[in-house]
Amino acid sequence: MKIAVLPGDGIGTEIVAEAVKVLDALDLDLEMESALVGGAAYEAHGHPLPEATLKLAKEADAILFGAVGDWKYDSLDRPLRPEQAILGLRKNLGLFANFRPAICYEQLVEASSLKRELVAGLDILIIRELTGDIYFGTPRGRRVSPDGHFPGAEEAFDTMRYSRPEIERIAHVAFQAARKRDRRVTSVDKANVLETFQLWKDVVTEVGKQYPDVALDHMYVDNAAMQLVKAPKKFDVIVTGNMFGDILSDAAAMLTGSIGMLPSASLNARNQGLYEPSHGSAPDIAGKGIANPLATILSAAMMLRFSLNQPDAADLIESAVKDVLASGLRTSDIYSQGTTQVGTIEMGDAVVAALAGTTKKTSKG
Ligand code: NAD
């Protein structure tokens, strides 16, 4: 089992080190090899996704990714910016299915921006299509407007598009994931306004007929945004396009208390996957040793489950994280009165200790 370890920039190096430490503590035959990506790769090799990094990623069974980006690269030409590395990996590896679970841990309910009764026990899964839609659709660009409200003015345009096979494959992923959960899929679209999403709705409905044991409903994206903050627990699996999924999954992230807790997986048709926390490189806290490594550690658990066929090891990590939270340890992003504040490394150490069954419950937890 070969893992490409791509820490990236900012807190990426700090949090990935903790996830690697946790993986090392498991009794598994894992081969891990690191490479530069993002701003760090640009500094060293002049490109955010050097050939050698891409080759390593392609050859690995799974990729453990930290985060990329820093404001200091904002003036670079777009193809050289750190974030292009992620788009390049998604495209080159065909990572079309993004899994973003949003789970509200009992111990963190008070950190949510919503009331306890709305989020306690929350466990939803957002499946976002990742390689199509308006983010990748062509044509796109800037030009002198040939028509519209202001002919002759400068304008910019992007293209929203989805093909039937693209929708079919992400729909299958969603229905199959729902079969392992509460067997409910909500497909989020904007079929009332957009041709692209009328096709989306039609195709998801057709695919749904192959899964009579899974309940399917459809929701417009504006209503879905509202329902996510009004009654999030009524969802089980949400499946949607690239842009709607981008926005809704960040909103769902905040329901759980902290973006520092949320893992994600991006899979291709061969179950090869890229695993990363849902947050970015957090330049504001990089180097301070205070970043929460749990989202990355939980991403490593998803990696073991989805790409490396080690569900027992994944369960071990997830229950170790719950034990650590129950023991009252918190990084600053999830700290509340009465808990014990720790740094990135101590949090990683605590998960390793919990794996070994040695975590002592603190009296405060
Ligand atoms: P961000 O997610 O990096 O940070 C948002 C806020 O959350 C910050 O206040 C940060 O301190 C906090 N935060 C994030 N992760 C945390 C953690 N693990 N522990 C504690 N606090 C945490 O988003 P941003 O500030 O909008 O973006 C910063 C950079 O990250 C940008 O360059 C952006 O392009 C990049 N980015 C990268 C990815 C990725 O690599 N997948 C995703 C999003 C943003």
Q: How far apart are CA 222 and CA 244, in angstroms?
A: 9
Does the structure show a pLDDT above 70 at 358? no
Q: Which fold has domain 1-96+268-365?
A: Isopropylmalate Dehydrogenase (3.40.718)
Q: What is the pLDDT of residue 256?
A: 85
Q: What is the pLDDT of residues 151-175, one digit of tens each?
A: 999 999 999 999 999 999 999 999 9
Amino acid at 34: S
CA–centroid distance, residue 260 to ligand 1 (Å): 9
| Ligand 1 proximity of 292 Cβ (cutoff 6 Å) | yes
**Which atom in ligand 1 lies closest to the alpha carbon of residue 70?**
32
CA–centroid distance, residue 65 to ligand 1 (Å): 14
**Which residues have a Cβ under 8 Å from the Cβ of 349 and sit 6 or more positions away?**
21
Confidence of residue 360 (pLDDT cuts 50, 70, 90): very low
Confidence of residue 60 (pLDDT cuts 50, 70, 90): very high
Q: How far apart are CA 222 and CA 210, in angstroms?
A: 28
| Ligand 1 proximity of 259 Cβ (cutoff 6 Å) | yes
Confidence of residue 134 (pLDDT cuts 50, 70, 90): very high
Confidence of residue 362 (pLDDT cuts 50, 70, 90): very low
What percent of the chain has a predicted confidence (pLDDT) above 90?
85
- Which top CATH class is 97-133+163-261? alpha beta
Give this prediction's pTM.
Answer: 0.88
Per annotation, catalytic residue among 42, 61, 70, 190: 190
Q: What is the pLDDT of residue 231?
A: 95
Mean of the per-residue pLDDT values of the chain: 94
- Rounded mean pLDDT of 76-104? 94
Please indicate whether residue 52 or residue 252 has the higher confidence score (pLDDT): 52
* Residue 118: Cβ-neighbour burial (10 angstroms; 0-12, 13-18, 19+): middle
Q: How far apart are CA 338 and CA 364, in angstroms?
A: 6
Q: What is the pLDDT of residue 363?
A: 36
- Cβ 266 vs Cβ 97: under 8 Å: yes
Specify whether 250 is catalytic.
yes
Give the start-to-end residue ranges of the domains of the chain. 1-96+268-365, 97-133+163-261
Mutation probe of ligand 1 site: the residue of 76, 95, 247, 279 with most atoms within 8 A of C-beta: 279
Tokens (6 digits) for 225:
């945004």
Q: What is the pLDDT of residue 171?
A: 98
| Ligand 1 proximity of 70 Cβ (cutoff 6 Å) | yes
Within 157-194, residue ranges assigned H as helices are: 164-179
**Which atom in ligand 1 lies closest to the alpha carbon of residue 284?**
11
Per annotation, catalytic residue among 91, 158, 250, 335: 250
Q: Whose CA is nearest to atom 4 of ligand 1?
A: 282
Does the structure show a pLDDT above 90 at 113? no
Q: What is the pLDDT of residue 342?
A: 97
Q: What is the pLDDT of residue 27?
A: 86
Q: How far apart are CA 74 and CA 84, in angstroms?
A: 12
Torsions phi, psi for 268 (to 5 deg): -105, -175
What percent of the chain has a predicted confidence (pLDDT) above 70?
98
Closest by CA to 309, choosing from 55, 29, 4, 99, is 29
Specify whether 29 is catalytic.
no
**Conformation bin of residue 152: beta by default, left when phi > 0, alpha when psi is -120 to 50:** left
Q: What is the pLDDT of residues 280-338, one digit of tens each?
A: 999 999 999 999 999 999 999 999 999 999 999 999 999 999 999 999 999 999 888 88
**Which atom in ligand 1 lies closest to the alpha carbon of residue 283?**
28
Q: How far apart are CA 140 and CA 123, in angstroms?
A: 37
Q: How far apart are CA 281 and CA 70, in angstroms?
A: 7
Beta strands in 278-331 (DSSP E): 329-330
Q: What is the pLDDT of residue 110?
A: 82
Specify whether 202 is catalytic.
no
Of the candidate ranges 55-69, 106-120, 123-137, 203-217, the one whose mean pLDDT is the lowest: 106-120
Beta carbons within 10 angstroms of residue 286's beta carbon: 18
- Rounded mean pLDDT of 180-202? 97
**Which atom in ligand 1 lies closest to the alpha carbon of residue 295?**
18
- Rounded mean pLDDT of 230-253? 94
Of the candidate ranges 137-141, 167-171, 258-262, the one whose mean pLDDT is the lowest: 258-262
Q: What is the pLDDT of residues 264-276, one digit of tens each?
A: 999 998 889 999 9
Torsions phi, psi for 38 (to 5 deg): 75, -145
| Ligand 1 proximity of 260 Cβ (cutoff 6 Å) | yes
Continuous segment of H or E residues that includes residue 3: strand 2-8
Q: How far apart are CA 268 and CA 129, in angstroms?
A: 11
